[in-house]
């Protein structure tokens, strides 16, 4: 039983026009756009699907306001999909929707749908660093990106009403693998034994289930910085970033947006195999970021914007 990753995320929003503007600025490609439904995709075909929050056919929200209403997980083929569904059919919440997709709810109440993946793998070439005695980039300058073009939807981070139940559901019912953990407080999980560090991260927040953020993969730190500066120049507000996570090793930049909780550009995360050794850590702000810029970088001056993180998300 092995899902491949996130195939789509469905958002319920208050402002469709602003959501459309954000998705285009974010660097996604439009598939279709109507008054009640936007579909944009990453470079590998993962979809951001946007609906008005009052749409009657949307799954119920697990928190007030704009938010993620459903995560659609992809399997490599029908056999892998059936292997996942075999473990889910006995759940009370299991059903097949009008669109033909099988669905369950996780212990948070979040709708999860499943399908054979529509994504096409993309291989990119990050800019290699130079160091004394190790010259990977010869007679070539590092690029300056004027916009990011996200490759995939890498992970969704969830606040758990019942942390133990969420941890058990994703590991036992969906077969996810634990990469690292804050015991009793947070767990990083990946779909496949061999794969990127995490496809979901669950944080304990009793009584307040919700979305912490949705993360989009880009090529390297140069695209994180260039994409982030481009978003700042277009007027989108930084939550925090750029910075670097010591757990997962990824570079990041988070932006407020009209879709949900912050969206993240990130790159250069750890890649795990069967030999990866999960570690346990204390949940504290300095393990969120090895370094980070509160308020971001001004898009016009390319200098640090003055700001203090007051998000309450444990970033500082």
For 214-233, how does the pLDDT look when each residue is reduced to its tens digit (9 = 90+)?
999 999 999 999 999 999 99
Do 115 and 74 form a contact (C-beta atoms < 8 A)?
yes
pLDDT of residue 308: 58
Number of H helices, E strands in the chain: 4, 22
Q: Distance between CA atoms of 1 and 287, rounded to whole angstroms?
A: 32
Determine the average pLDDT of the residues in 105-129.
97
Of residues 258 and 286, more confidence is placed in 258
For 232-252, how does the pLDDT look when each residue is reduced to its tens digit (9 = 90+)?
999 999 999 999 999 999 999
For 47-65, how does the pLDDT look when each residue is reduced to its tens digit (9 = 90+)?
999 999 999 999 999 999 9
- Domain boundaries in the chain? 3-116, 152-294
Do 91 and 84 form a contact (C-beta atoms < 8 A)?
no
Mean predicted lDDT score pLDDT of the chain: 95
Q: How sure is the predictor about 152, in pLDDT bands with cuts at 50, 70 and 90?
A: very high
- Is the pLDDT at 45 greater than 90? The verdict is yes
- Is the pLDDT at 281 greater than 70? The verdict is yes
Q: Distance between CA atoms of 177 and 110, rounded to whole angstroms?
A: 20
pLDDT of residue 285: 86
- Is the pLDDT at 305 greater than 90? The verdict is no
pLDDT of residue 313: 59
Third-level CATH fold of 3-116: 2,3-Dihydroxybiphenyl 1,2-Dioxygenase; domain 1 (3.10.180)
pTM: 0.95
pLDDT of residue 201: 98
Determine the average pLDDT of the residues in 186-196.
97
Domains 3-116 and 152-294 share a fold: yes
DSSP conformational letter for 27: T
Nearest to residue 235, comparing CAs of 256, 213, 214?
A: 256
Q: State both tokens at 230.
A: 């481009």
Residue 73 sits at φ, ψ, to 5 deg, of -100, 140
pLDDT of residue 316: 35
pLDDT of residue 2: 81
Q: How sure is the predictor about 286, in pLDDT bands with cuts at 50, 70 and 90?
A: confident
3-state helix, strand, coil in the chain (%, to 5): 15, 35, 50
Identify the three-state secondary structure at position 26.
helix
CATH architecture assigned to 152-294:
Roll (3.10)
Beta bridge partners of 272: 195
pLDDT of residue 35: 96
- Is the pLDDT at 314 greater than 80? The verdict is no
């Amino acid at each position: 039983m092995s899902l491949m990753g996130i195939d789509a995320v469905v958002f319920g929003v208050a402002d469709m026009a602003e959501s459309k503007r954000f998705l285009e600025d974010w660097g996604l490609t439009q598939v279709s756009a109507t008054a009640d439904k936007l579909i944009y995709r990453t470079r590998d075909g993962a979809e951001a699907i946007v609906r008005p929050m009052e749409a009657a056919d949307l799954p119920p929200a697990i928190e007030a306001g704009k938010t993620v209403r459903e995560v659609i997980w992809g399997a490599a083929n029908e056999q892998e999909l059936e292997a996942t569904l075999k473990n889910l059919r006995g759940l009370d919440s299991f059903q097949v929707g009008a669109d033909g997709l099988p669905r369950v709810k996780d212990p948070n109440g979040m709708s999860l749908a499943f399908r054979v993946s529509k994504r096409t793998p993309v291989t990119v070439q990050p800019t290699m660093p130079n160091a004394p005695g190790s010259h990977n980039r010869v007679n070539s300058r590092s690029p300056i990106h004027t916009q990011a073009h996200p490759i995939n939807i890498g992970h969704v981070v969830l606040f758990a009403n019942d942390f133990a139940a969420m941890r058990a559901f994703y590991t036992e019912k969906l077969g996810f693998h634990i990469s690292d953990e804050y015991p009793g407080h947070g767990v990083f999980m990946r779909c496949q034994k061999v794969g990127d560090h995490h496809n979901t991260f669950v944080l304990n927040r009793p009584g307040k289930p919700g979305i912490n953020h949705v993360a989009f993969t880009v090529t390297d730190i140069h695209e994180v910085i260039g994409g982030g500066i481009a978003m700042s120049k277009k007027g989108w507000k930084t939550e925090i970033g750029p910075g670097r996570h010591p757990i997962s090793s990824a570079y990041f930049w988070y932006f407020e947006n009209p879709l949900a909780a912050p969206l993240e550009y990130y790159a250069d995360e750890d890649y795990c195999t069967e030999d990866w050794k999960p570690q346990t850590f204390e949940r504290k702000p300095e393990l969120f970021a090895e370094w980070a810029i509160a308020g971001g970088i001004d898009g016009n001056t390319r200098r640090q914007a003055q700001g203090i993180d007051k998000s309450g998300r444990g970033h500082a």
